Chain A
Amino acid sequence: MIAIIDYGMGNLRSVSKAFEAVGHRAVVTRNTRVIDDASRVVLPGVGAFGDCMANLERYGLVQSIRKSVQSGKPFLGICLGLQLLFTESEEFGRHEGLGIIPGRVRRFAAGPAVKVPHMGWNQVTLRTDCPLFDGVGDGADWYFVHSYFVEPVDPSIIATTTTYGISFASSIWRDNVVACQFHPEKSQSVGLRLMRNFGGWL
């Protein structure tokens, strides 16, 4: 069973429906016991960083997330669920994140050719042989919608990069944790492939 953590923000239905479409059972929950018992955990996310952290704390989910990551079971962060894993973000002021991945979350510098948010389909270049990208072509288009990007302290965990004005880490992979800035649940066939891979990973 895959637990999709519900902290009262964003579109979680798409994530669970996408897992169902590729044959994996998933439940949207904020029950810490369900999360602790799940074989796989997904931290999705749309919303503002500070509000989301506040909600994770309010619902008592921070410990469950840490425990899931430490337990070694497959853990997938999506979009804000990637950013929340980091030490801190500069969105609407400075906010502390979960601190699971050392690094910062920074805003894109807007320019004539760089509109913010980065919204739409962009290419993802594979930097490692992360098994979640099995069967996904290098340079495939994925759907992004975000104004901030992550800067891990340890560059060796960068699984993919994408260029938008600058080259940024569009996903990271460390042990049992994969987290991506793009939305697999919105990226049609390549996204469903990643989600299918996640359901069979480890």
Chain B
Amino acid sequence: MLTKRIIPCLDVKDGRVVKGVSFVALRDAGDPVEVATAYDREGADELCFLDITASHENRKTIFDVVERTAARVFMPVTVGGGVRTIEDIRALLNAGADKVSINTAAVQRPEFVKEAAQRFGTQCIVVAIDAKHDPDGTRWGVFTHGGRNATALDAVEWAKRMEDYGAGEILLTSMDQDGRQSGYDLGLTAAVSGTVSIPVIASGGVGTLEHLYQGFVSGKADAVLAASIFHFRTFTIPQAKAFLRERGVSVRIVSGEEDGR
């Protein structure tokens, strides 16, 4: 049975983790590779790097982060942020990323997703959607540029269209919930997950292990993304998995078996 995935997400700016990480065991909690290695040891199912580097010149630092991570961590890595061209994707894959996440560029030119999927395979194209409840509460609108710009798109319809264009996965962030630690937007997650037949990653708002559980059960998510609850050691990955397994969610438990190395 396919297990449900838990994905820690690291915001990376100019090659350093931002928003903070407080692992005691790390020499340098600002180094994304150190943090990635720690999550690897804990049995995270995937890793996500979000490059929020402001300037184009600093883009190359994310390639260095991905390269160093790929040399030490043997698990899937997704990189998002600033992915606009086929060349961006090729460079990230060459550096060692397995998937790239496309957000603003998909809204600006949806054909880009189609071209990327045909070129690299649907499985490595993640479309990230930042969604926010309309004031009247009847739908969720799509936002771009890190949530600053509104669009006329409906999040559920947009997700379906991106699936048709070749997206292999939807990374769905609720901007209403993000940072509030009061749980995922379960209505949004369930609406998108029930509409598309590609995997959906719930993101934005997790504060407790119960929220992860609700994301899978009520939100029908295939994977959950979380940042601060893991970064600040409110909970560890093994704690999260033990909690979920006890409640009947199928998760991968990493045993103490011999490492291949």
Contact = CB atoms under 8 A, between A and B. Distances in A.
Interface of A: 9-14, 17-18, 20-23, 46-48, 51, 80, 92, 110-111, 114-123, 135, 137, 141, 143-147, 163-164, 183, 185-196
A13 B96 contact: yes
Given A14-B70, A48-B118, A122-B3, A22 B124 contact: no
Interface string B239-261: 00000000000001010011111
Interface stretch (B71-79, B127-135, B138-146): B71-79
A111 B198 CA distance: 10
A145 to B, nearest CB: 4
Contacts of A147: 122-123, 168
Q: A interface, by DSSP: helix, strand, loop or mixed? A: mixed
B260 A194 contact: yes
Nearest to A13: B96
A192 B74 contact: yes
B40 interface: yes
A186 B93 contact: no
B199 interface: yes
B71 A115 contact: no
A51 B122 CA distance: 13
Contacts of B229: none
Nearest to A141: B252
B2 A185 contact: no
B199 A117 contact: yes
B120 A47 contact: yes
B123 A193 contact: no
B224 to A, nearest CB: 12
B185 interface: no
B261 A119 contact: no
Given A118-B2, A120-B199, A186 B222 contact: no
Nearest to B117: A48
Contacts of A188: 40, 43, 74-75, 254
Given A17-B96, A115-B199, A120 B75 contact: no
A20 B18 CA distance: 31
B171 interface: no
B120 A9 contact: yes
A188 B222 CA distance: 20
Contacts of A116: 197-198
Nearest to A145: B123
Contacts of A146: 123
A111 B196 CA distance: 10
22 contacts: A13-B71, A17-B70, A21-B260, A46-B121, A48-B118, A48-B119, A116-B197, A117-B198, A119-B169, A119-B222, A120-B4, A121-B3, A121-B45, A121-B252, A122-B2, A135-B258, A147-B123, A163-B1, A189-B260, A192-B74, A194-B260, A195-B260
